[in-house]
Amino acid sequence: MKRFLLPAASLFVLGTATPSLAYDPSTLKSLLEGPETWNELRSQSSRSHIDLDNAQLEDARLDCANLQDASLVRAQLSGTSMNHANLKRANLFLARMKRMDLKNASLREATLCRTDLKNSFMNNTDLRQSNLAMADLRWAHLAESDLRGAFLEQVKLFGADLSSSDLRGANLSGAEMLAQARLDGALLSQNTIMPDGSRATRLDATLRGARFMKEPEREPVRMSTTMLPPAAAARPDAAPTAAARPDATPAAPPETLPTVLEQDVDTWNAMRQEQPDLQPDMEDENLSDAHLEHANMANLAMQNATMDGADMDNADFTGSELSGSSWKRADLAEAVFRQARLNGADFERAYMRKADLGEADLTGAQFHGTRLQECNLQNAVLTNANLFNADLSKADLRGTDLTGARLLDTVLQGTLISPETTLPSGTPATRNWAVLRGARFIDHDE
């Protein structure tokens, strides 16, 4: 498929009190060629403004780079090495930072709201007063990091290593899966706000293997989470987008829409709402590692598309044609697949907690090691599906057709089963079958 890029996606701009200078891509290239050259350039222009919004910097070697005060909104940084880098007050709103090396880096007062930091190495990193609201820190390594006064509202912490980190004054209100994070040796105080909104106590620390220090009580840290920071706002010299003009509607041709989707989900959703008849060609599309939370993907033809490693929490695929699609290791929490056609789809090790797969056709689908806790699979077709080592605890399988499905080592604890559920043998489910597997049998009379 031919690609068309949106304009001005990743230019490097140096500005001062006088009119700013817009450099060509060779300036960005100088960053990628080596931090020494870059740091020298910065030292010669101490008042410069760095614009790297949407920059493509995956797998770059930027150790010790000086990116203080840089704007890296939606930047692509997965796999990049920034050990000992200076990112103080940097704006990394919605940046993709999977598997990054940020050991001993300074991210003090940085904006990391809604940033993807899964599996990143941030040992001994300075994150004081940083805004990590709604960031994804699953499996992140934060041992001995300094998170004093950090805003961690609604962060995802499953599998995160926070051992020996300093969490005094950190606000963890609404944080998800803190119980599954490692906190041994971490330092808490009464100014640490726990996920339930309460102040941490010595007992909270003891139960998690952490330490507790009493200090003067302060007001909880609060930061903005609802809108882009000022650096991400439209610049004075930037042309207004179609979505921002009340008298205009998007006019992108269908072949450009997949790229629009990858660059700005809000623009994509607005275009789909205003032009419902516009049908982009998404067959065989590759959206691996894309950042597409809340994307409107309903009623699309996406046969054989690849979404491996993509972040698609809360995305809507209602009624879409997705036969032969691949979703390996994708994040699909609370995604909607109602009445979607997913024959032969591969969801190996995907995270699909609370996803809605009601009435979906999942014939022959692969769910090896997939986490499907609390999913809705009512009246879905899972004939010949592979559910080996999948976790379906508390999922709803009432009326689901499991004929020929492989349920070896499948977790069914608390899963809802009904007489309309068809077992792998092709026979109706029974109470005895459900009880033996720790599931709940819901009869008509209950």
| pLDDT digits 0-9 by tens, 51-69 | 888 888 888 999 999 999 9
* Residue count (the chain): 446
Whether 178 is in a domain gets the answer: no
Whether 438 is in a domain gets the answer: yes
- In total, how many domains does the chain have? 1
Whether 254 is in a domain gets the answer: no
Separation in Å, CA 223 to CA 150, 226, 299, 329, 405:
9, 10, 37, 31, 48
Write the DSSP string, 67-104.
-TT-B-TT-B-TT-B-TT-B-TT-B-TT-B-TT-B-TT
User: The tokens of 156 are what?
Assistant: 């995802």
Question: Would you give the DSSP letter of residue 230?
Answer: G
Using a 10 angstrom Cβ sphere, with 0-12 exposed, 13-18 middle and 19 or more buried, the burial of residue 53 is: buried
Which secondary-structure segment (H or E) carries 36? Answer: helix 35-43
Cα–Cα distance for residue pair 185/182, rounded to 1 Å: 9
419 conformational bin, left if phi > 0, alpha if psi -120 to 50, beta if neither: alpha
pLDDT of residue 231: 39
pLDDT of residue 119: 86
Q: Which domain holds residue 407?
A: 282-446
Intervals of the chain under pLDDT 50: 1-24, 227-256
Separation in Å, CA 248 to CA 97, 110, 241, 280:
35, 35, 9, 20
pLDDT of residue 104: 97
Cα–Cα distance for residue pair 437/255, rounded to 1 Å: 49
- 86-135 pLDDT, tens digit each: 999 999 998 989 889 999 999 999 999 989 898 899 999 999 999 999 99
pLDDT of residue 404: 97
Whether 416 is in a domain gets the answer: yes
Whether 435 is in a domain gets the answer: yes
Whether 360 is in a domain gets the answer: yes
Whether 397 is in a domain gets the answer: yes
CA 111 to chain centre: 16
Please give the model's pTM, rounded to 2 decimal places: 0.56
pLDDT of residue 257: 53
Q: Phi and psi dihedrals of 61, rounded to 5?
A: -105, 100
Cα–Cα distance for residue pair 175/21, rounded to 1 Å: 42
> Which amino acid makes up residue 372?
L
Whether 190 is in a domain gets the answer: no
Cα–Cα distance for residue pair 242/244, rounded to 1 Å: 5
Do the Cβ atoms of 123 and 141 come closer than 8 Å?
yes
Cα–Cα distance for residue pair 256/204, rounded to 1 Å: 52
Q: What is the CATH number of the domain that holds 335?
A: 2.160.20.80
